[in-house]
Chains A and B, each alone.
Chain A
Amino acid sequence: MKLHRISAVTERVLRQIWHDKRVLVFMLMLPAIAMLLFGYSFSGDITDVRIAFIDEDNTDLTESILESLQQDQAFKVTVLETVDDPEQLLLSEHYQAVIRLPDKFTSLYYAHFAMGVATSAQGTIDLTLDESDPQVAATIRMGLADAMMDLGEGGPVDIQARELYGVEVRFIDSFAPAIMGFVVSLISIVLTLLSIVREKVDGTFSRIWVSPVRRAEFILGYVISFGLIALVQSLVVLTIGKTVFDIVINGSIFWAFGCTILFAVGSVGLGTLLSALAQTESQAIIFFPLVILPSVLLSGMMWPVQAIPRLLRPLTYIVPLTYSNRLLRAVMVKGLAPWQEPVGFIGVLVFVVLTIALASVVLRQSAGERE
């Protein structure tokens, strides 16, 4: 193993990428576009749900419920004086919910707690809800429950919630780690695959394998190039995440970079493996959707693994990005050390060891049947 040969391969791969401005732009734009596109369209945070609020009781308590609702970014609250037919109002004015706090709501509310469960008297909120979009409806129910919970302190009940990790976590916060893993692995796999297939097609592989370059040096040269590229891409994702979406990173940035680079190493291995199955560049392109689709659909990037049908769930465990998502989310959102998320950490390690070991076998074959 000689450093100068490893660095020769690294320098060459980086020069090739530097020369191909389209690849260079793609490499830097992909993380940016992915963050912006997914960040805006899939932000998952529902906003501007129209709600009509009718307070017939007018007490401090009902006032604070209104305040809570108004503070919730999900809602656009219109306060009305009275309502005859909530259903009619909902239909005619296109509200998604009409919330009415009836007269004596406050006194019944306190009475209930004062007299214990024995009483039938109870504060009632009159909620008329448009259920046509279950997600919007669920947001309203949750917003209302949150508003009631906010009464907590000083009120009759004191709910002390301990919100783990997710204190201020929005969809975009846990999405950034997934984008990082996705973009870095996609670029590493695709560019390694294309680059090695080209070496075979153009015959430069023959020159390399008669030279003193060893297979391990060749792989390491690629790994270092794409590790550096992964670092740059992570920076792009984090910069956009911070400046545009103001994402929260609870963990150590160094672990985040470390884990991303580790994942890039495995991806270089996978790209090398796939190169054995393609003799031409057009054959190589067939693999792109095979890499992209499972990563997007089955890794827990767009929706949680728990939302994937049970029948398909075992498949999620063979998608490398599943482990990277767990690992990077643990490190970036939860602020854990990698080994505190053993499934993700070990999954990524196994991915790296397996693909690099197999890649080395595959290269031996590409190098001709020399042994």
Chain B
Amino acid sequence: MSNATAIFQADGVVKKFGDLRAVHNVTMAIPRGEIYGLVGPSGAGKTTLIRMLSGLAAPTSGSVKLLGSLMPIDRRVVEHRFGYMPQERAVYRDLSIAENLLFFGQIYGMTRSRIAERTRELLSLMKLSDRCKQRADRLSGGEKQRLSLACALLHEPEALLLDEPTIGLDPALRREFWGHFHQLNSAGRTILLSTHYLNEAEWCDRVGLMQHGGLIAAGTPNELKAQAAKHSGQASLDMEEVFLILTQEPVAGGVS
């Protein structure tokens, strides 16, 4: 793939917090139209990497590009074109579902009628239509997560950064979320998401395995399986086994 068309791109990115290397020498490029999964345990550096891609944090060294713009310096150029779902769910607990969407639509310059239209679409998609006037702090975890996703989708961004969008959901709801992701993807959206559920890696176009801040392996699920099979001599591995094998014998970082 050519870097010129990459939607999300990192080149030798390092992020340090004092002595702690939260992200270490990560290089990757995600072309338009992909669902890319950053997979790794808690503390692996997924959130830190996504925050740098969104322009919220600056890398200590290396460079980060989103839709071809250098982040965070040129973020103004692309701020309308991507949507971000933070790990914390990030909705106003004392506002209703509709009011949350109204605010996040308004700050993107959407008109009230357009926001109302998108709200109807998204809430029926997320099965929240009848809860539209409900305050966010009265929602269940799953409902809150659906609202959070809706907030990121409202302004119809072409690129999506979703930080652990399925965390804490029951398996049925997780499947439903993945249904949304694939639907968005077939509508042309490029998605980078993080997860610590290793089985979700199967549903991505490509996967980057992260551990201790480094990208230890990357490729399609089948490529990763083949790589692990070669290392271990075992066939028909599931993603959990793949992860265990590849993290025991780490491949040098910087795989693209």
Contact = CB atoms under 8 A, between A and B. Distances in A.
B93 A210 contact: no
B215 interface: no
B106 interface: yes
A5 B106 contact: yes
Nearest to B104: A207
A83 interface: no
B48 to A, nearest CB: 11
A203 B84 contact: no
A20 interface: yes
Interface string A201-238: 01110111111110000000000000000000000000
Interface stretch (B37-45, B49-57, B240-248): B49-57
A4 B104 CA distance: 12
A11 interface: yes
A203 B56 contact: no
B90 A206 contact: yes
Contact of B56 (A9, A20, A209): A209
B112 to A, nearest CB: 10
Interface in A8-22: 8-9, 11-12, 15-16, 19-20
Contact of B93 (A8, A9, A202): A202
Contact of A5 (B51, B89, B107, B151): B107
A204 B108 contact: no
Contacts of A15: 95, 99
Interface string A178-201: 000000000000000000001000
B57 A370 contact: yes
Interface string A125-144: 00000000000000000000
A205 B214 CA distance: 27
B87 interface: yes
Q: Would you call the interface of chain B mostly helix, strand, loop, or mixed?
A: loop
Contacts, number: 89
A210 B54 contact: yes
A367 interface: yes
Contact of B103 (A11, A367, A370): A11
Contacts of A213: 107
Nearest to B51: A368
Contacts of A9: 107
Contacts of B54: 206, 210
Interface string B82-101: 10101111111111000100
Given A202-B90, A206-B56, A207-B86, A212 B95 contact: no
A7 B51 CA distance: 27
Given A8-B106, A16-B94, A368-B56, A207 B84 contact: yes
Interface majority SS (helix, strand, loop, mixed), chain A: helix
B84 A210 contact: yes
Contacts of A93: none
Nearest to A204: B90
Given A212-B79, A212-B80, A4 B106 contact: yes
A250 to B, nearest CB: 42
B15 to A, nearest CB: 10
B109 interface: yes
B109 A203 contact: no
B55 A207 contact: no
B75 interface: yes
Interface in B50-81: 51, 54-58, 72, 75-76, 79-80
A12 B79 contact: no
How extensive is the interface on chain A, given as a class?
20 to 34
A19 B94 contact: yes
Contacts of B55: 210, 370
Nearest to A208: B107
A209 to B, nearest CB: 6
Given A12-B95, A16-B92, A204-B91, A5 B84 contact: no
A212 B108 contact: yes
B135 interface: yes
Most chain B C-beta atoms within 10 Å of own C-beta, residue among A20, A204, A212: A204
Contacts of B79: 210-212
A212 B107 contact: yes
Interface in A253-306: none
Contacts of A204: 90-92
7 tightest Cβ-Cβ pairs between the two chains A and B:
A203-B88, A8-B106, A203-B90, A370-B72, A368-B56, A206-B86, A203-B86
28 contacts: A5-B107, A7-B106, A8-B103, A8-B106, A9-B107, A11-B106, A12-B95, A12-B99, A12-B103, A15-B99, A16-B95, A198-B93, A202-B88, A203-B87, A203-B89, A206-B54, A207-B151, A210-B55, A210-B75, A210-B82, A211-B79, A211-B107, A212-B76, A212-B80, A368-B58, A368-B72, A369-B58, A371-B72
Interface of A: 2, 4-5, 7-9, 11-12, 15-16, 19-20, 198, 202-204, 206-213, 367-371
Given A12-B103, A16-B95, A206-B51, 16 more contacts: A2-B109, A4-B106, A7-B106, A16-B92, A16-B94, A20-B94, A202-B91, A202-B92, A202-B93, A204-B90, A207-B151, A210-B55, A210-B75, A211-B104, A369-B57, A370-B56
